[in-house]
Structure 1
């Protein structure tokens, strides 16, 4: 068994066997049947599942590498993005050089779509897609683990409770990320903090930056970060399909002191995040850090300045900020009417009001917060204030 076998993505030699396993997985077939035939899946499940399995085997025929699988899947990904967005734009991708591997450190709003949009930008720029860090809490069913590891995902063990086991897991993760970039020449995508930023306040956890250094502690911290070509990435969604659920969770935490996920809640978030309406999406690749700070906390602040400063603000962000009771009067935030056309603003007002109306009154401050925070952060940066 190789050093990284427990967490690494599947290799090309494993692809065919995993695809055969997926085509026979009852849970996977059941989900596909419900998705493809929502009305017929219950009464005719036993008849439909063999048809789905046959279709899968046909689709998988001849696929014996990860690259071939991604090429086959890409039209479906593009179609899903086209249906659920009003367009995806990206900037800074021209800075990425063919033959170089990067450590993409991104803000985290959606479980699946954050790395998917980075993949989308990189793939269409003709560059290899990165390997993706994903928490083991999302891989509780074997077919989900198979699907993610086929798509270049590697596992981050977050569910460990023993301190020694956690330390060993982070050491292995650090070694794998360094090995991927330095030895394999494969880029890596990882979120700037564990869990999604449900309040719209994108902040880098310095513990993640320390983890990158764990397997190379005999080398200077800044040198390791520079060697990994750490590249901040800022992903901006005009509308978050999961904003209502996030508002509910924030409200529950504020009023009860905690929040327990219902069974299947992660699955619902994944599905809604993929298929739900997002408006426009922008992915900004910031310059790789060539002179990183020597200290993890200072580096986290530096990365935050890149990610928050590159976040694309949409009309809805300004509309939410104008309604936010905690907005900062010291910040010179212009009114949305000064920045956007009347037509664009009218459409944003309709969509924003629809979302407010769908949100229980007591939870609305937490919905507003999600869209207002990026405005406050960016204008604090512009004013030279501390974040």
Structure 2
């Protein structure tokens, strides 16, 4: 295998870091961003600390861990992790998760792994978010690999094949775990479903049958449960904007706004749950006549979804939203009148933040409730 084919998309090698650090340190836009992120530290001190980092993991622990931990301390009521399995440290895994926050889903996972003395993950990140050269460099220092988005159909096919080869190489040769979302973009209504296209991409690389290629990726379904989504009002707003104008598309500024609100908005409790590795389940799947690939992708998607839906952690707001959305009191024993009042006040406060023409309060309220009720609806469907 010629691993130079991955040079455009892979994280930097450790020996490349000194040159990249110098490029970042000399970039005025990076300087401004660094000083905003750690305002109490002179940039010269940040630069010297960067130069002292010899590996990507050292950089993550020196800078990213502290920043993410501070975000967790200031804007959550705690990060927790539970697992159905004890991960084998000699193996690498592909964590496929539902997707709530552009930055923090993978960021908080890495914090939780570091605290358990486990290797951080390589992160799949769309190039639509890498709007400045310094951001692209920084994410590659932070163990991210690039998912190329704005391509022709032919280019997209070649790009997907290369990314799949890279992911197989990362899992099987580098023995490095990966995080990837179950779909392109966040599920705005929290109806978390794995896109077959993600699995088709995974099956493009590797050796053997499609079944063997998927099994060899050591897929672990990962469930993320945020008590509050600070971007909920932006997501609800986007629903109305798209309803009123089917041609509506988010801008780069919208993406930046979502990143900022997601990072620095209140999230309540945040829980991660690792399901079992499903390699054996995939290996043991008996296919129908013709050994149809589409059937395999559908069944593996459903297996991932079943695990994600089963392992949500629920908060009072989920139960309140369910009852209000479905006009029932089925879940009333799961929350107190005070907890209901807290959630209703939160909902009203977030609704007030939406400032658009022809604001449709009833429509927006339903979208809010759907976001918080859908995980419970999916869980109950089993």
| Fold shared, TM-score > 0.5 on shorter chain | yes
- In structure 1, distance between residues paired with 2:122 and 2:327: 40
- In structure 2, distance between residues paired with 1:206 and 1:95: 28
Alpha-carbon displacement from aligned partner over 1:247-304 (angstroms, at most 9, x marks no partner):
0111111222132223422112112211111000000100000212450011111111
**Match of residue 247 from structure 2:** 258
- For 1:221-240, list aligned pairs within 5 A: 221-240=210-229
Runs of 5+ consecutive residues of structure 1 not aligned to the other structure:
38-47, 382-387
Alpha-carbon displacement from aligned partner over 1:193-228 (angstroms, at most 9, x marks no partner):
001111111110011101111123x62222222221
Runs of 5+ consecutive residues of structure 2 not aligned to the other structure:
288-295
Report deviation, 1:354: 2.8
Question: 1:251·1:366 contact (CA, 8 Å) conserved in 2?
Answer: no
- In structure 1, distance between residues paired with 2:257 and 2:244: 24
Question: 2:233·2:351 contact (CA, 8 Å) conserved in 1?
Answer: no
Instruction: Count residues with an aligned counterpart.
Output: 361
- For 1:203-242, list aligned pairs within 5 A: 203-216=193-206, 219-242=208-231
Report deviation, 1:355: 2.7
**Match of residue 367 from structure 1:** 368
Report deviation, 1:53: 3.5
Q: 1:2 to 1:220 in 2, by over 3 A?
A: same
Question: 1:89·1:281 contact (CA, 8 Å) conserved in 2?
Answer: yes
Helix, strand or coil at the partner of 1:7: coil
Question: 2:96·2:181 contact (CA, 8 Å) conserved in 1?
Answer: yes
Note if 1:131 corresponds to 2:122: yes
- For 1:1-387, list aligned pairs within 5 A: 2-33=4-35, 52-73=42-63, 74-92=65-83, 95-160=86-151, 162-216=152-206, 219-289=208-278, 290-292=280-282, 293=285, 295-324=296-325, 327=326, 334-336=330-332, 338-340=333-335, 344-359=339-354, 360=359, 361=361, 362-381=363-382
**Match of residue 42 from structure 1:** none
TM-score (norm 1): 0.87
Question: 2:148·2:159 contact (CA, 8 Å) conserved in 1?
Answer: yes
- In structure 2, distance between residues paired with 1:175 and 1:122: 25
Question: 1:88·1:280 contact (CA, 8 Å) conserved in 2?
Answer: yes
Question: 1:24·1:53 contact (CA, 8 Å) conserved in 2?
Answer: no
- In structure 2, distance between residues paired with 1:98 and 1:350: 45
- In structure 2, distance between residues paired with 1:313 and 1:219: 40
Report deviation, 1:35: 5.5
Note the aligned Cα RMSD (angstroms): 2.2
